[in-house]
Amino acid sequence: MVDRPDRAAPRFPAAAETGVTAGVRKALERWQVGPGTLLVSGGARGADLIGAEQALDLGADVLLLLALPEAEFVRTSVALPGSDWEARYRAVRDRSVTRFQAEELGPGEPDGDVFARNNEWCLELARAKAPPHRLRALAVWDGKGGDGPGGTADFVDRAAQLGAELLVVDPEQGTIRDPAAGN
Query: pLDDT value at position 168?
Result: 96
- Would 7 be classed as within a structural domain? no
Check residue 147 and give its pLDDT: 65
This prediction's pTM: 0.94
d(CA 131, CA 125): 12
> Tell me, what's the pLDDT at 35?
98
Backbone angles phi, psi at 129, to 5 degrees: -90, -20
Measured N-to-C along each axis, helices 85-94 and 47-57 cross at an angle, to the nearest 10 degrees, of 40
Residue 106 forms part of a structural domain: yes
Asked if the structure places residue 2 within a domain, the reply is no
Q: Per DSSP, which regions of 34-105 are E strands? A: 38-41, 61-66, 97-100
Q: How many domains does the chain have?
A: 1
Residue range of the domain that includes 130: 14-181
Inside any domain, residue 8: no
Amino acid at 98: T
The CA distance from 119 to 112, in Å, is: 12
Cα 49 to Cα 39: distance, rounded to the nearest angstrom? 11
pLDDT tens over the chain, length 183 residues: 999 988 888 889 999 999 999 999 999 999 999 999 999 999 999 999 999 999 999 999 999 999 999 999 999 999 999 999 999 999 999 999 999 998 888 877 766 789 999 999 999 999 999 988 899 999 999 988 766 778 898 899 999 999 999 999 999 999 999 988 877
Tell which phi-psi region holds residue 87, choosing left (phi > 0), alpha (psi between -120 and 50) or beta: alpha
Does residue 5 sit within a domain?
no
What is the C-alpha to C-alpha distance for residues 123 and 147, in angstroms, rounded to an integer?
19
> What pLDDT is attached to residue 110?
60
In a domain, 49, yes or no: yes
Residue 141: per-residue pLDDT: 93
The whole-number pLDDT of residue 104 equals 85
Q: Which residues contact 138 (CB under 8 A, 6 or more apart)?
A: 24, 27, 28, 47, 51, 166, 167, 168, 169
Q: What's the CATH code of the domain at 160?
A: 3.40.50.450
Report yes or no on 6 lying in a domain: no
- CA 134, CA 73: separation in Å to the nearest integer? 30
